[in-house]
Amino acid sequence: MKIKSADFIISNSRVEQCPNEPLPEYAFIGRSNVGKSSLINSLTQRKGLAKTSGRPGKTQLINHFKINNNWFLVDLPGYGYARVSKKDKKIFQKYITDYFLKRKQLVSAFVLIDIRHEPQKIDLEFMQWLGENAIPFAIVFTKADKLKPNAIEKQVQSYLDTLTSSIWEEAPPHFITSSSKGIGREELLDYIDSINRSFHK
């Protein structure tokens, strides 16, 4: 898929205020500082589309970007280590879960995982919650440029083994990416494109 246009549409904290268009949506979410904004900018090849920051928790709203005028990329707040108050965290969690449970246009979530780390409890619990609520998702491993190819393979296999040894009969689709090197960009966009084709039939 070629990205011809990528436009910011709206930021808000209420699912009822999300765009009222019958277009497929793909929600990107992960722990704070996982490289979400960098990945979005890499996918769209728009340097400042999503705001990047060294400070965890920069994204604190539901951000809608319209891509090629026929699908939405949704940037959701990170969970985990964001330096925000407990009250704010509860609000974030409420509208994140509201979005996933109520948003009919959502066709897939992408859960971002820093490939350098061992499986984290918060990520595993979030994926379990998605599964229990029948929300389709894929895993996107980020920061692949930080590891050698053998280490990447080992880390990914270890992660998938952790998933299938617990509640999953089979692991969800996964992608290995690096925003700085463009690794995995085409594969991820092709995956979205294949879903879009069946959605628009």
pLDDT, tens digit (0-9, with 9 covering 90-100), for 20-57: 999 999 999 998 889 999 999 999 999 888 875 444 44
Question: What range defines the domain where residue 74 resides?
Answer: 6-199
Cα-based distances in Å from 174 to 54, 70, 142, 182:
26, 24, 11, 16
In a domain, 124, yes or no: yes
Q: Quick one: average pLDDT of 124-135?
A: 91
- Listed range (20-34, 76-90, 104-118, 185-199) with the worst mean pLDDT: 76-90
Pairing of strands 6-12, 62-67: antiparallel
Q: What is the pLDDT of residue 54?
A: 46
More reliable by pLDDT, 97 or 187:
187
In a domain, 161, yes or no: yes
Q: What is the pLDDT of residue 29?
A: 95
In a domain, 116, yes or no: yes
- Cα first-last separation, the chain: 17
Residue 102 has pLDDT above 60, yes or no: yes
pTM of the model: 0.91
Sheet bearing 71-75, strands edge to edge: 6-12, 62-67, 71-75, 25-30, 106-114, 137-142, 174-176
Q: Contact at 8 Å (CB) between 98 and 190?
A: no
In a domain, 1, yes or no: no
Query: At residue 161, what is the residue type?
Result: D
The number of distinct structural domains making up the chain is: 1
Helix (H) or strand (E) holding 86: helix 86-102
In a domain, 193, yes or no: yes
Q: Contact at 8 Å (CB) between 35 and 145?
A: no
Q: How far apart are CA 19 and CA 106, in angstroms?
A: 12
Strands (E), the chain: 6-12, 25-30, 62-67, 71-75, 106-114, 137-142, 174-176
Residue 200 has pLDDT above 80, yes or no: no
- The enclosing domain of 59 has a CATH number of 3.40.50.300
